[in-house]
A and B are shown apart, each in its own frame.
Chain A
Amino acid sequence: MRYALLAMIFAAPLAAEADDTCVACHSGLEGNLQAPAKAFANDIHARFGFSCADCHGGDRNATDPQESMSKARGFVGKIPRTAVPERCARCHSDAALMQKSKPRQRVDQMAQYRTSVHGKRLAGGDTKVATCIDCHSVHDIREVKDPLSPVHPLRIPETCARCHADAAHMAGYKIPTDQFAGYRKSVHWNALAQRGDLSAPSCASCHGNHGAAPPEVASVAAVCGTCHVMMEELYNKSPHQPVFAAMGAAGCVVCHGNHEIREPGPQMLAGPNAVCSQCHEATSVGGIAAAEMGRQITSLEKALDRSDAILSSAQQSGMEVSEALLRQREARENLVKAAVAVHAFQTAAVHKPVAEGLAIAAETYKAGTSALQEKRFRRLGLSVSLIAIALTMLGLWLAIRTIEGRTRKPSELAGR
């Protein structure tokens, strides 16, 4: 009886696993025949009860390989690359089916893919282009939010770069392969990879994911404007917009570049590396206005740095300067506003936030100076107090000596 019970306990999980004969058999094989079965344990589809047979056909319950992998049971074996998107779309474009497992997931990936460069080329018979499995991997497909997924926000640039940075793979497409190298020098990469900001833009943010395509020249500002809303608004009203549009220049890209977008700053407006100087002579109206905007922003930056330094020194001395530090954040916001206002290409627009920021910076610098003065006052007060305490203690000691000199010393009281 006891053995029967044990047998029942241990047999139960085996029976559950034996339901998927694909996994059961392939796990016992070697090499490429075993790998998919092993990897599938981590696949999101396995978690929702899908089986190999749901993509490859066949019968997951049949124990005889001839039967489980028979054409009669719909077995198709390895899926051709050209058929992969359609195969995934059988479920992922089925709103009713997706509703059961992932009700919030979109079901237009296939429709988007058809509009992408990848999708169009695949339809034209180019099997080198990316299909679903090239980005999402195969057999160990994970949720996008899983950090191990190749399409997790932190890993997207590297996933795209697997093909787009491979000169051999991209030969024949006549597009550069330095996008990833450029992107890794950009502020966007810095925000994404260094600061871990998952909302920072990667390839898919500008090019789209399933409908990946390069933005057209006319829509560049709109693409950048999805995040940089104010800049886009100001740029569209600025004198540059019609000029760039007439020139066929791609808006933001003219000054900031595309993949290698460096830290913007006053150096873009004035100085030897100024982007404005590419079109505007230094003595022209545009050149003078650019230099003036650069000068104003630089003056605010310097004033803020000066205040930061003195407040930091005061804080390290233990002084309470949190209010001033809070004001300093407001001043930094004015610096951001000034940088945004540059996109109006009007010195007056930049002047307002700069003037406000400078006023706050002067105030915080004064607060820092006062804090350091207060620190010196405290040290002085402490010294005076310590001297007073020391003198009092000396007086007490002398008083004790006098009293004990008049009477017998405590030690003399022994043996009374």
Chain B
Amino acid sequence: MATASEPPHDTGWFEERLGLASIRAFLAHKMVPVHAGTMWYYFGGITLFLFVIQVLTGSLLLLYYRPSPSEAYESVQFIMTRVQFGWLIRSIHSWSANLMILAAFIHMFSVVFLRAFRRPRELTWLSGIALLGLALAFGFSGYLLPWNKVSYFATKVGTDMAAAMPAVGHQLARYLRGGNDVGGATLTRFFGFHVAVLPGITTLLLLVHLVLVQKHGMSSPPAVTEEYSRKGMSMPQMPFFPNFFLRELMAWYAALAVLGVLAAIFPWELGAKADPFAPAPAGIRPEWYFLAPFYTLKLIPSHIWLFEGELVGLLGFGLLVLFWVALPFWAVNRQGMERTRWVTGAGVLLLAYLTTFSALGYWR
């Protein structure tokens, strides 16, 4: 005979402890707008999926990786040649890192062009931009870890750029390198950033981002909403679960297939071990996502009026980033009207700049 404290017969053990019914109810009511741009909604989920792959493969790599100049390269070589499927894990880790950053950029531009950053989603935008910055920091710190020639000199170039920043540049470069030059201390620091500091911050920020997305729901492009309003209709929608979720799952499988093809046919190269005393190899350049600013800095003359060219370039990039981060705030004028053309123009210009200069930086 049941007492008053016992659960009702129709609820299970987990239900009693987790309250799954409320989650089911939330999912049943969560809707996703359906319109011509719905496919762009999948890129946020793809970015998340690739991040999870990063965490899983990264954890496996940690079993064998050793973060010291004398062992880092050899340990990665060991992973690639001796560990069962080690080559696959490392290749997937490297390729998914690149695909994740690509997916994050696509997600960001889709948010801009679909106007998803508008009130009340300013904090979602800011947390998303911060997550993109963290993804780039992951890329920069992880690039050095194999301790090969290309990564060593690319880190040298990258930290040199940091050193050119006004006022704090020298201290920042010293902090990043753990000394005056790239060396063992840099490797240890970058390893610490890559596996502890950045994942911790990213997880917290990711939670904030996801909670905000859930709170505000999926944004509908204003133009589409207005069109339906004019017709006296409401925006078509689909249930998040299972309709959208299953579609998202298909997108994840597609991403997994792309990842598998890249990792199996183009396994990530290890290259030659870093030699700090060797001259920098010709045509040294950073990863593709840093190519646009890198190439721009190369084009800037050494001196512009009274200032160093590199300093002017870095200040320019700083202002550009600030301008982009503040997008939700300048996209609406004082009367509360959206500056649609300005936003689209800025998005197109930035996209054109990034693609053109990245291509130029790669080919020239």
In the complex, what residue of chain A is closest to B248 when comparing beta carbons?
A396
Question: Is the beta-carbon distance between A318 and B265 smaller than 8 angstroms?
Answer: yes
Known: A320-B270, A413-B238. A389 touches B253 (CB 8 A): yes
In the complex, whether A381 has a CB less than 8 A from a CB of chain B is yes
Contact stretch, chosen from B1-9, B155-163, B195-203, B239-247:
B239-247
Question: Is the beta-carbon distance between B250 and A413 smaller than 8 angstroms?
Answer: no
Tell me which of B247, B260, B267 contacts A389 (CB under 8 A): B260
In the complex, what residue of chain B is closest to A321 when comparing beta carbons?
B81
In the complex, what residue of chain B is closest to A318 when comparing beta carbons?
B267
In the complex, what residue of chain A is closest to B232 when comparing beta carbons?
A415
B263-280 interface with A by 8 A CB criterion: 264-267, 269-270
| Given A378-B88, A399-B242, 17 other A-B residues pairs in contact with their CB atoms under 8 A | A318-B265, A318-B269, A320-B77, A320-B267, A378-B264, A382-B260, A382-B261, A390-B257, A392-B253, A393-B250, A396-B247, A400-B246, A403-B242, A404-B243, A413-B236, A414-B235, A415-B234
Known: A318-B265, A318-B269, A396-B253. A403 touches B243 (CB 8 A): yes
In the complex, whether A50 has a CB less than 8 A from a CB of chain B is no
In the complex, whether B340 has a CB less than 8 A from a CB of chain A is no
CB neighbours (8 Å) of A392 from chain B are: 253
Interface size class of A (residues with CB under 8 A): 20 to 34
Task: Name the distance in Å between B76's Cβ and chain A's nearest Cβ.
Answer: 10
In the complex, whether B52 has a CB less than 8 A from a CB of chain A is no
In the complex, what residue of chain B is closest to A391 when comparing beta carbons?
B253
In the complex, whether B136 has a CB less than 8 A from a CB of chain A is no
CB neighbours (8 Å) of B87 from chain A are: 320
Show 24 residue pairs from A and B whose CB-CB distance is below 8 angstroms, ordered by the A residue. A318-B265, A320-B77, A320-B80, A320-B267, A322-B270, A323-B81, A378-B88, A379-B264, A381-B264, A382-B260, A382-B261, A392-B253, A393-B253, A393-B254, A397-B250, A400-B243, A403-B243, A403-B246, A410-B243, A414-B233, A414-B235, A414-B236, A415-B233, A415-B234
Question: Is the beta-carbon distance between A414 and B228 smaller than 8 angstroms?
Answer: yes
A411 to B234 Cα, complex, angstroms? 11
Per-residue contact bits, chain B 208-247, to A (CB 8 Å; 1 contact, 0 not): 0000000000000000000010001111111000110011
A378 to B92 Cα, complex, angstroms? 13
In the complex, whether B34 has a CB less than 8 A from a CB of chain A is yes
A411 to B247 Cα, complex, angstroms? 15
In the complex, whether A386 has a CB less than 8 A from a CB of chain B is yes
In the complex, whether A255 has a CB less than 8 A from a CB of chain B is no
In the complex, what residue of chain A is closest to B88 when comparing beta carbons?
A378
Question: Is the beta-carbon distance between B264 and A411 smaller than 8 angstroms?
Answer: no
Interface size class of B (residues with CB under 8 A): 20 to 34
Among all A-B residue pairs, the 7 with the closest Cβ atoms: A410-B238, A414-B236, A415-B233, A382-B264, A320-B80, A318-B267, A410-B34
In the complex, whether B249 has a CB less than 8 A from a CB of chain A is yes
A323 to B73 Cα, complex, angstroms? 12
A379 to B233 Cα, complex, angstroms? 52
- The DSSP consensus for interface residues of chain A is helix
Known: A322-B77, A389-B260, A400-B243. A382 touches B265 (CB 8 A): yes
Tell me which of A323, A386, A400, A412 contacts B260 (CB under 8 A): A386
Which residues of B pack against A, CB within 8 Å? 34, 77, 80-81, 87-88, 228, 232-238, 242-243, 246-247, 249-250, 253-254, 256-257, 260-261, 264-267, 269-270
Which residues of A pack against B, CB within 8 Å? 318-320, 322-323, 378-379, 381-382, 385-386, 389-390, 392-393, 396-397, 399-400, 403-404, 410-416
Task: Name the distance in Å between A383's Cβ and chain B's nearest Cβ.
Answer: 9
Among B77, B232, B236, B261, max chain A CB count under 10 A is at: B236
Question: Is the beta-carbon distance between B246 and A396 smaller than 8 angstroms?
Answer: yes
Task: Name the distance in Å between B54's Cβ and chain A's nearest Cβ.
Answer: 19
CB neighbours (8 Å) of B249 from chain A are: 396
CB neighbours (8 Å) of B237 from chain A are: 410, 413
CB neighbours (8 Å) of B81 from chain A are: 320, 323
A385 to B259 Cα, complex, angstroms? 11
Known: A392-B253, A413-B238. A386 touches B261 (CB 8 A): yes
Task: Name the distance in Å between B51's Cβ and chain A's nearest Cβ.
Answer: 20
Task: Name the distance in Å between B177's Cβ and chain A's nearest Cβ.
Answer: 27
Question: Is the beta-carbon distance between B257 and A386 smaller than 8 angstroms?
Answer: yes
In the complex, what residue of chain A is closest to B76 when comparing beta carbons?
A320
Question: Is the beta-carbon distance between A385 and B260 smaller than 8 angstroms?
Answer: yes
A318 to B261 Cα, complex, angstroms? 13
Task: Name the distance in Å between B37's Cβ and chain A's nearest Cβ.
Answer: 14
A403 to B238 Cα, complex, angstroms? 12
Tell me which of A381, A389, A412 contacts B256 (CB under 8 A): A389
CB neighbours (8 Å) of A382 from chain B are: 260-261, 264-265
A351 to B281 Cα, complex, angstroms? 40
CB neighbours (8 Å) of B246 from chain A are: 396, 399-400, 403
CB neighbours (8 Å) of A400 from chain B are: 242-243, 246-247
Among A386, A396, A404, A412, max chain B CB count under 10 A is at: A396
CB neighbours (8 Å) of A410 from chain B are: 34, 236-238, 243
A403 to B239 Cα, complex, angstroms? 11
In the complex, what residue of chain A is closest to B273 when comparing beta carbons?
A322
Task: Name the distance in Å between A312's Cβ and chain B's nearest Cβ.
Answer: 15
Task: Name the distance in Å between A390's Cβ and chain B's nearest Cβ.
Answer: 8
CB neighbours (8 Å) of A404 from chain B are: 243
A415 to B238 Cα, complex, angstroms? 13
CB neighbours (8 Å) of B264 from chain A are: 378-379, 381-382
Among B77, B232, B261, B264, max chain A CB count under 10 A is at: B264
CB neighbours (8 Å) of B233 from chain A are: 414-415
Question: Is the beta-carbon distance between A319 and B267 smaller than 8 angstroms?
Answer: yes
